[in-house]
Amino acid sequence: MISVGIESTSHTFGIGICEGKKIIANQRDVYVPDLGWGIKPEEARKHHESVMDAVLEKALQEAGISIDDAGIISFAAGPGLPPCLKTGTKFTRKIMGKRPAIAVNHPVAHIEIGRLLCKCSDPIVLYVSGGNTQVIGYSSGRYRVFGETQDMAIGNARDVLARYMGLGYPGGPEIDKLASKGSKYVQLPYTVKGMDVSFTGILSDAKRKLASHANEDVAFSFAETTFAMLTEITERALSHAEKNEVLLTGGVAASPRLQEMLKIMCDERGAECHVCPGEYSSDNGAMIAWAGLLAYRGGQKPVKKPDYIARWRTDEVKIIWRKKKRKKT
C-alpha cells in the first residue's frame, strides 16, 4: 500500500511517499527566517501555502505515481505551531478524496523512521531539534518520555546563541564549527534535574561570558556542557529501562560532537548507538508516510475531518502497531 505523508509542524513543508517499507519519495521546502530572526509562525504558514502544491508535484514525480495511486494520506497532526499545522490539515482535506486520512504524532514519526532505517528494534531515543528535546523509550504500549527540557529546546538554544554572536541561521551548525576551534573551557551551569534538563540559564550565562571570553571558547563550552547533559540523561534512561540501543534523531542529531559523546557512552556500556540519516532525522514527509502506514495497518481509525492537536504529547499516542501478539492458550 502507498502512503503519502504530509509534514508541516514547523519550518518544513515536506511530502514523503512510501510503498510498504520502501521510501519512494521525500521532497521538502524549508522556510528560512529573515536574518537575525527566529521562526515567525505566520511567515512560515505563508511559506508552506506558497510551496505545498509544488512539493506534492515533485514528490509524485520522484515516486513515479499519481495521487490516485495513494492508498492513504498520513498527516502530521501535532505537536507544532498552529498556523503551520493548519496548512497541513487543510492540504490533507484538499487531497484526501475518499481515502483514509491518518493523524500522525510528529515525534512518534521521528522514532519510527529511525527504527526502520537504522534497523534497531527497541531503542532509547534522544530526539533533539529546534522545537523538541526528549529522551523517549517504549514501555507497555506507549513511547514514554523519560526526560525532557523544562524550558527551551536544545536546537532553539543553539540558534539563539548563534544569533547573539551574529552567525547565520540555522545556528547549530555554525556553533559546531566555531566550537571545533575553541579549546578553553569556560565554566557554565550544568543543569540536569533528575531526568530533565534546562537550557535557559546556560544560554544567559553563555551570552554574558561572551563579553570576557573568545566566541569560540564560549561555543565550545556551550556545546560540551549541553551535550554532556543530554548524554547523561540518555545513559540514565538506558540503564533504568534496561535497553541496549540508542537512537539519535532530530535536526541536532547532525552535530558530530553529540554523536561522538553518545557513541563513547554506548561503547562503555556495551550498547549500540544509531544515528538516523540526516535526510530523515530533520523534519520530513517520509517519516509521516511511514508512521501513518504503521498506524493504519495496526488498526488506528482514520479521521473524517483532519484537524491538528498543537500540544499532542508523545506519550498520549497508543502504539498499537507494536503490541505483542498474545499466544493463544
Tell the smallest beta-carbon distance from residue 297 to Fe ion (Å): 23
| Binding flags for Fe ion, 129-158, as an x/- string (CB under 5 A) | x-----------------------------
- Rounded to an integer, what distance in angstroms lies between the CA atom of residue 18 and that of residue 32? 27
| Binding flags for Fe ion, 97-116, as an x/- string (CB under 5 A) | --------------------
Tell the smallest beta-carbon distance from residue 227 to Fe ion (Å): 19
Q: Collect all residues with Cβ–Cβ distance below 8 Å to 43 and sequence separation of at least 6.
A: 31, 33
Q: Collect all residues with Cβ–Cβ distance below 8 Å to 149 and sequence separation of at least 6.
A: 133, 134, 196, 197, 198, 199
Which CB atom, from 129 or from 314, has the smaller least distance to Fe ion? 129
- E runs forming strands in 36-132: 72-78, 101-105, 124-128
Tell the smallest beta-carbon distance from residue 85 to Fe ion (Å): 13
- CA angle at 296 for the pair 291 and 301, rounded to the nearest 5°: 120
Which CB atom, from 107 or from 182, has the smaller least distance to Fe ion? 107
Neighbours of 148 (CB within 10 A): 18
Q: Interacting stretch for Fe ion, rule CB under 5 A, among 33-41, 127-135, 273-281, 298-306? A: 127-135
Q: Interacting stretch for Fe ion, rule CB under 5 A, among 17-25, 178-186, 222-230, 278-286? A: 278-286
Tell the smallest beta-carbon distance from residue 285 to Fe ion (Å): 12
- Rounded to an integer, what distance in angstroms lies between the CA atom of residue 270 and that of residue 294? 30
Which CB atom, from 109 or from 319, has the smaller least distance to Fe ion? 109
Total residues binding Fe ion (CB under 5 A): 2
- Rounded to an integer, what distance in angstroms lies between the CA atom of residue 196 and that of residue 184? 27
Q: Is 245 in the site for Fe ion (CB under 5 A)?
A: no
Q: Interacting stretch for Fe ion, rule CB under 5 A, among 52-60, 204-212, 267-275, 279-287? A: 279-287
- Rounded to an integer, what distance in angstroms lies between the CA atom of residue 262 and that of residue 231? 6
Which CB atom, from 137 or from 182, has the smaller least distance to Fe ion? 137
- Gyration radius of the chain's alpha carbons: 20
Which CB atom, from 221 or from 314, has the smaller least distance to Fe ion? 314
Tell the smallest beta-carbon distance from residue 140 to Fe ion (Å): 25
Return the bridge partners of 69, or none.
none
Q: Is 283 in the site for Fe ion (CB under 5 A)?
A: yes
Return the bridge partners of 138, or none.
143
Which CB atom, from 129 or from 133, has the smaller least distance to Fe ion? 129
Which CB atom, from 129 or from 215, has the smaller least distance to Fe ion? 129
Neighbours of 89 (CB within 10 A): 22
- Name the site residues for Fe ion (rule: CB under 5 A): 129, 283
